[in-house]
Structure 1
Amino acid sequence: MTGHGHEQHHPRGTAAPQAGHENMVCPVCGRPVGTVVWRRKVLGAFVPAWGPGPCRNPDCSAFAPAESSRG
């Protein structure tokens, strides 16, 4: 058997929402925001968790200016 005819072709779709790949939006203005990743402890092991980052829209009431990495 050469495997011909047994190949399965699946269309590529989007990542599963639980994988954290959905687009995050600001809850106030609805504009897209970046994703922030942090760790949380579950049953003694650290696992990644993610959520919406700060809003960078200066007209939004939830606006958070970008932090400078200089110090």
Structure 2
Amino acid sequence: MAEIDAHSETWRAVADWARERRQAAADDLIRGGTTPGHDDKLRGEIRALDDLLSLVDTPQSPAATPIDY
């Protein structure tokens, strides 16, 4: 996977949008859905947005360190 520059203007725009959308979905979830399955849809959306936002927090796999005996 390509590395994401957490300080780029593009990522900041994406992250701002995702945080706003996540907050709106959380607010809708708190208010409660009117149709069956709506709450589950909102929970899935929140989870997906959390996954998106965590892409810059995910540490890269550590480099293999040589073993000295």
TM-score class, shorter = under 0.3
* TM-score normalised by structure 2 residue count: 0.24
Pair member with larger Rg: 1
* Higher RCO structure (Cα 8 Å, ≥6 apart): 2
- Which structure features the higher share of strand residues? 1
TM-score normalised by the chain length of structure 1: 0.23
Instruction: Name the one with the larger helix percent.
Output: 2
